[in-house]
Amino acid sequence: MNIIDTAAKAQEYANEIMPFLGINKKREIARLLFEIAKRDNLAPPAILPPQYAKNFEQAKKFLISKRYPKNFKTAAPDSFYLPDLNLNFTLKADLKQEIFYPKNIFIENGEEGSPAAQNALKLFPKTSPQYFDYKNFPAAEANYSKRKETLIITKEKFDFVKPCPCTRDCFCCGYNLINLGFGCAYECAYCFLQQYQNLHAIILPANISDFLKKVESAKFKKGIFPYARVGSGEFTDSLIFDNITNYSKDIVTFFRGRAEYFEFKTKSVNIDNLLNLPPAGNVAVGWSVNPQNIIDETELLTPSLKERLCAAAKIAAHGFKTAFHFDPVILHDGWRENYKKVLEEIENALPKESILWFSLGTLRFKRELKKFIEARFADNSILDEEFLLAFDGKLRYADAARKEVYDYLRPLIKQKFPAAVNYLCMEKQI
């Protein structure tokens, strides 16, 4: 049964078997039926027999025990997130593997001569540019899946440098961010931009020099490192559009010899600019990594693990530093062996001395993202695991499951890469 039918059948059966319920209670029953039906490939009547459907409390308790077999006994009753099944399947992700070529290019007046704008015109000659004033910011089609149709080159005026916002009640590693773009061409099923980005376009700032001026005068916290770290991958992948912006050239030139370290956080292999620059010992490329089976399922349109590690080896051989982010770690059958294998592949691919740090964080996301994932990646299996509303209001694996991941991976990383710092990202002490 496809996901649209599964959702419809879950709603129909909730109406049929418990017609006496109000809208909200029916919504919870339908949601639980849907999630179990999707995960176990079962029809709703096979999940909730009539004898358990006599009253709401009994039916919900029964379904919760089926949907959350590992946690239903210990999780707080309000930690199960059961939103309605109003899923907009027209938002389905566009998974065609195509080279980024926008149909619309908007350039802010005053930035026509900027290197980013000039380069975009050169790279996409078949698209006629349109020009706009800051006060009339262009609109784009209201569909996240169409974001790659529109490129907006703008002058950033406000958002230059800031400490990483981290998350409520978490240990903060002291990272600092510069936002050199908004929007990404990859399709990671868990990406928060699906729900967060409201202008569906790729937006690139033209004024890198203004960012670097702000960095020049910023007072950075060092956090857990002996030096301050600055990175650019919060609202986009740091290198995916580097062939358009060429920002890596300005960044490396600016940071070379400075006290701060700069990190390009990426899944891409767009490293040509870096390989054509003299290296800098305080500039790292940090790859987000996952086992290949997880990449195939959830990090769609991204380079494979092998390709990422091959790029990392070239970066290390060239003389830049590297870093790796096991983030998000995604639970699945065989996760221990699979993540261990990724560590072994890193070990075999590049010299340990090039690696400055590893970060780790298990999959977590704002509750609002859940319906976007379901609508855009109907076949996803990442949501079949048990997510609970956690200390920061996000959906996370239970404390015990996250602890198991960290207790397994952190010592393994320490043992294999003793000189690299390894730390938890957006996590509390558990």
CB of 287 to ligand SF4, least distance (A): 11
Which class for 351: exposed (0-12), middle (13-18), buried (19 or more C-beta within 10 A)?
exposed
Q: In the bound complex, what is the minimum distance in angstroms from residue 248's beta carbon to ligand SF4? A: 17
Which window, 54-62, 87-95, 182-190, 413-421, contacts ligand SF4 (CB under 6 A)?
Answer: 182-190
To ligand SF4, the closest distance from the beta carbon of 257 in angstroms equals 30
Residues 401 and 68: beta-carbon distance below 8 Å: no
Q: Which is nearer to ligand SF4, 28 or 237 (CB)?
A: 237
- Total residues at the site for ligand SF4 (CB under 6 A)? 8
Q: Which stretch binds ligand SF4 (CB under 6 A): 34-42, 163-171, 183-191, 370-378?
A: 183-191
Nearer to ligand SF4, 244 or 280 (CB): 244
Is residue 193 near ligand SF4 by the rule CB under 6 A?
yes
Pick one of 33, 63, 177, 191: the residue that binds ligand SF4 (CB under 6 A).
191
Of 19-27, 181-189, 278-286, 304-312, the window that binds ligand SF4 (rule: CB under 6 A) is 181-189
- Residue closer to ligand SF4 (CB basis): 377 or 387: 377
From 2-10, 187-195, 200-208, 253-261, give the range in contact with ligand SF4 by CB under 6 A: 187-195
Among 115-123, 180-188, 289-297, 376-384, which window interacts with ligand SF4 (CB under 6 A)?
180-188
Report the C-alpha gap between 266 and 411 in whole angstroms. 25
> Coil, strand, or helix at residue 107?
strand
Position among 108, 149, 156, 237 found at the interface with ligand SF4 (CB under 6 A): 237
**Minimum CB–partner distance for residue 51 and ligand SF4 (Å):** 45
| Burial of 136 (C-beta count, 10 Å sphere; 0-12/13-18/19+) | exposed
- Out of 131, 132, 186, 225, name the contact with ligand SF4 by CB under 6 A: 186
Residues numbered 72 to 111 that lie near ligand SF4 (CB under 6 A) are none
Could you tell me which stretch among 94-102, 185-193, 256-264, 374-382 binds ligand SF4 (CB under 6 A)?
Answer: 185-193
Considering the complex, what minimum distance in angstroms separates the CB of residue 188 from ligand SF4?
A: 3
Q: Of 44 and 205, which has the nearer Cβ to ligand SF4?
A: 205
Task: Write down the least CB distance from residue 184 to ligand SF4, Å.
Answer: 3
DSSP-assigned letters across all residues of 144-173: GGGGGGEEEEE---S--EEE----TT----
Q: Which residues of 280-317 are buried (b: 16+ CB within 10 A; e: fewer)?
A: bebbbbbbbbbbbebbebbbbbbbebeebbebbbbbbe
Q: Using the rule CB under 6 A, is 153 a contact of ligand SF4? A: no
CB nearer to ligand SF4: pick between 53 and 91: 91
Give the whole-angstrom CA distance, residue 83 versus residue 317: 49
**CA angle centred on 60, ends 58 and 65, rounded to 5°:** 100
Report whether 394 contacts 365 (CB < 8 A). yes
415 and 344 Cβ atoms separated by less than 8 Å: no
Q: Smallest gap, in angstroms, from Cβ of residue 149 to ligand SF4?
A: 16
Residue 325 interacting with ligand SF4 (CB under 6 A): no
Residue 185 CB, nearest approach to ligand SF4 (Å): 7
| Cβ neighbours for 200, distance < 8 A, ≥ 6 positions apart | 140, 141, 142, 143, 144, 146, 147, 150, 183
The answer to whether 396 touches 387, Cβ cutoff 8 Å, is yes
Examine residue 267 and tell whether it contacts ligand SF4 (CB under 6 A).
yes
**CA 426 – CA 81 distance, rounded (Å):** 21
User: DSSP letters of 8-70?
Assistant: HHHHHHHHHH-TTS-HHHHHHHHHHHHHHHHHHT--HHHHS-GGG-SSHHHHHHHHHHHH-TT
| C-alpha span between 249 and 274 (Å, rounded) | 7
* Nearer residue to ligand SF4 within complex by CB, 193 or 373: 193
Query: Which amino acid, 305?
Result: L
181 or 223: CB nearest ligand SF4: 181
Give 78 or 379: the residue with its C-beta nearer to ligand SF4: 379
For residues 4 and 1, give the distance between their C-alpha atoms in angstroms, rounded to a whole number.
8
The binding site for ligand SF4 (CB under 6 A) comprises 184, 186, 188, 191, 193, 236-237, 267
